[in-house]
């Protein structure tokens, strides 16, 4: 038996492999990101910040922590990764011989006519029958396949790479959860600040309406101007109602995104214009996407698993060698069951070769090759998608700052115009229409500043996600 085990291990370690060598396709993207005039090229080599450093708003950081603990999608991804790990253990077990200990007792009786035939007795002679018991104890080797052509090794490799793909999928879901929380939080902050701006504007326009009514009583304003002021207030009241609805809906969306009710002890919010979120991120080179982005890493692991499936399908065309054996003791008395004379063993090698399977093996191989081709296309598409998202993020980074600065300057000009128009109206130098136009222009400019700031922050978060976020790959053992 020792020689048999040694032979089996030798054959397993020297088995050939039918898995084709995998050469990853070249990345179907340009060698560099687009560079916008005045921004300079991407800063290669700079590490991305951790999400807590990237999103430094304490209120936002608290919400992200809650989401990472309670989000159902992330919980499902973690369970899927654990399931893939368990499947890997199950698959690897097929590479090892299965040993089991067995013990038993059998009691039986045979009639003399049957039992005597084996010992030269004639029917009717001797006792009427034989009754005896037997004790057995043995270690048995279950049917163990010697992997001559690498079929089991290929299946092990496929399971291993699918487990790695599940880890990357879990990381992708985690990054998506963070990105979703940031987007929803920024929308909630925009709705809250737009509501505050609408309420402040409504108060100013009510004061303007009161002034117009007093001027009318003094004979310095007409009924048309009073109607214009009242219509302006009505419009502001309608805008406040709209902003209240948007604020409550954004709060509901935020609670849904984090997967739990909003706690009452959240840190106070930071205004959008004062958000400490980083907007200048180093993109590095396009090749960094292959190691940074979890979706690309997942697609690569899926490709490697599909390539290993081809090896398993090829090996199925060749014969399989399996071993079954047992070594133990058998005795009619329990006291002497382990005596040397009571040893018993069996050894049964078996070879099976496919002859006719109705095209099943060929179909399985063709299917494995087609799935590998799909995995190649998926891998290339993931790279192209990542490149485009980063390129869009870089364009946004290069233009939002200028747009925001110009809009803030325009809002300041609109503020001065509205103040001058109010002074002129009080002095009777200009009509109500000029003041109305100046107030509306100021309100629109202030809203535009808030919207573009939200878009700038959302663009920075999108670029952070497109670059794959900060990540340290875990150590894995094959």
- Summarised one tens digit per residue, pLDDT across range 254-311 is 998 888 888 989 999 999 999 999 888 888 888 888 888 999 999 999 999 999 999 9
Q: Give residue-wise pLDDT tens across range 93-150.
A: 888 787 888 888 788 777 766 655 555 444 444 456 667 777 787 888 777 788 888 8
| More reliable by pLDDT, 160 or 137 | 160
Phi, psi of 345 (to 5 degrees): -150, 160
Of residues 79 and 99, more confidence is placed in 79
The size of the chain, in residues, is 478
pTM above 0.95, yes or no: no
Per-position DSSP letters for 26-75, written without gaps between them: PP-S-SS----TTT----TTPPPPPHHHHS--HHHHHHHHHHHHH-HHHH
Q: Which of 314, 305, 310, 466 is nearest to 378 (CA)?
A: 305
The angle subtended at Cα 260 by Cα 451 and Cα 196, nearest 5°, is: 30
> Which fold does the domain 12-95+148-318+360-466 belong to in CATH?
Outer membrane efflux proteins (OEP) (1.20.1600)
Compute how many other C-beta atoms are within 10 angstroms of the C-beta atom of residue 175: 22
Is the pLDDT confidence value at 228 over 70?
yes
Residue 34, both tokens? 């687009």
- Rounded Cα distance between 467 and 47, Å, is 11
Fold of 98-146+320-352: Outer membrane efflux proteins (OEP) (2.20.200)
Euclidean distance between CA atoms 303 and 376, whole angstroms = 6
**16 vs 478, residue with greater confidence:** 16
Hey, what are 9's tokens? 């291990």
Alpha carbons within 13 angstroms on the beta-carbon side of residue 398 total 17
- % of the chain at pLDDT higher than 70: 88
Q: Provide DSSP, 356-393.
A: --TTHHHHHHHHHHHHHHHHHHHHHHHHHHHHHHHHHH
Sign of CA dihedral 277, 283, 289, 291: negative
Q: What is the pLDDT of residue 343?
A: 83
E strands, 275-363, where? 320-331, 343-352
**Contact predicate 169/77, CB 8 Å:** yes
Q: Are 451 and 411 in contact (CB under 8 A)?
A: no
* Most confident stretch, 39-43, 49-53, 346-350: 49-53
Cα dihedral 280/284/285/291 (nearest 10): -120
The pLDDT tens digits for 352-374 are 888 888 899 999 999 999 999 99
Q: What are phi and psi of 119, to 5 degrees?
A: -125, 15
Per-residue pLDDT tens digits for 446-458? 999 999 999 999 9
Over pLDDT 90: what percentage of the chain? 44
At 109, which helix (H) or strand (E)? Answer: strand 99-111
SS3 87: helix
* pLDDT for residue 219 is more than 50: yes
Give dist(CA 349, CA 112) in Å, integer. Answer: 36
- Map out the domains of the chain as residue ranges: 12-95+148-318+360-466, 98-146+320-352
**All residues at 6 or more sequence positions from 237 whose CB lies less than 8 Å from its CB, including other chains:** 202
pLDDT in tens, 7-40: 545 445 555 778 888 888 888 888 888 765 444 4
Instruction: Describe the crossing of helices 58-70 and 223-258 by its angle, rounded to 10 degrees.
Output: 40
Distance CA 451, CA 454 (A): 5
- Span 186-211, mean pLDDT? 91
Confidence of residue 474 (pLDDT cuts 50, 70, 90): very low
In contact, 136 and 104? CB cutoff 8 Å: yes
N-term to C-term CA, the chain: 30
């Amino acid at each position: 038996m020792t020689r048999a085990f040694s032979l089996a291990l030798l054959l397993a370690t020297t088995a050939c492999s039918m898995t084709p060598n995998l050469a990853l396709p070249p990345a179907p993207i340009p060698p560099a990101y687009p560079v916008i005039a005045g921004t300079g090229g991407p800063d290669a080599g700079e590490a991305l910040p951790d999400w807590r450093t990237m999103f430094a708003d304490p209120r936002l950081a608290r919400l992200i922590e809650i989401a990472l603990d309670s989000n159902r999608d992330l919980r499902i991804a973690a369970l899927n990764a654990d399931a893939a790990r368990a499947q890997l253990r199950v698959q690897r077990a097929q590479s090892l011989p299965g040993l089991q200990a067995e013990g038993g007792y059998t009691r039986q009786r045979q009639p003399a006519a049957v039992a005597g035939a084996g010992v030269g007795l004639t029917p009717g002679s001797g006792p009427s029958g034989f009754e005896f018991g037997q004790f057995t104890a043995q270690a048995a080797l279950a049917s163990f396949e010697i992997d001559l052509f690498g079929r089991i090794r290929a299946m092990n490799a496929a399971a291993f790479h699918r487990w790695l793909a599940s880890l990357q999928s879990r990381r992708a879901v985690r990054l998506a959860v963070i990105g979703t929380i940031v987007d929803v939080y920024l929308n909630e902050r925009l709705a809250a600040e737009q509501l505050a701006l609408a309420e402040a504007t409504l108060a100013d326009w009510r004061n303007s309406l009161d002034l117009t009514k007093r001027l009318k009583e003094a004979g310095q304003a007409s009924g048309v101007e009073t109607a214009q002021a009242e219509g302006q207030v009505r419009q502001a009241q309608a805008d406040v109602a709209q902003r209240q609805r948007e604020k409550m809906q954004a709060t509901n969306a935020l609670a849904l995104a984090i997967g739990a009710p909003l706690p009452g002890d959240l840190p106070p919010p930071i205004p959008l214009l004062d958000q400490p979120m980083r907007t200048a991120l180093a993109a590095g080179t396009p090749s960094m996407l292959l190691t940074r982005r979890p979706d690309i890493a997942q697609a690569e692991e899926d490709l490697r698993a599909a390539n290993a499936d081809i090896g398993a399908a090829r090996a199925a065309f060749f014969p399989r060698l399996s071993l079954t054996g047992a070594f133990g003791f058998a005795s009619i008395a329990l006291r002497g069951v382990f005596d040397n004379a009571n040893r018993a063993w069996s050894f049964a090698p078996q070879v099976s070769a496919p002859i006719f399977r109705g095209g099943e093996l060929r179909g399985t191989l063709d299917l494995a090759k087609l799935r590998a081709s799909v995995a190649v296309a998926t891998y290339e598409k993931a790279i192209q998608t990542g490149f485009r998202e980063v390129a869009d993020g870089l364009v946004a980074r290069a233009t939002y700052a200028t747009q925001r600065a110009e809009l803030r300057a325009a809002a300041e000009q609109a503020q001065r115009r509205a103040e001058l128009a109010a002074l002129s109206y009080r002095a009777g130098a200009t009509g109500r229409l000029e003041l109305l136009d100046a107030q509306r222009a100021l309100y629109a400019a202030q809203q535009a500043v808030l919207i573009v700031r939200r878009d700038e922050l959302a663009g920075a978060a999108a670029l952070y996600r497109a670059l794959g976020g900060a990540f340290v790959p875990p150590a894995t053992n094959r």
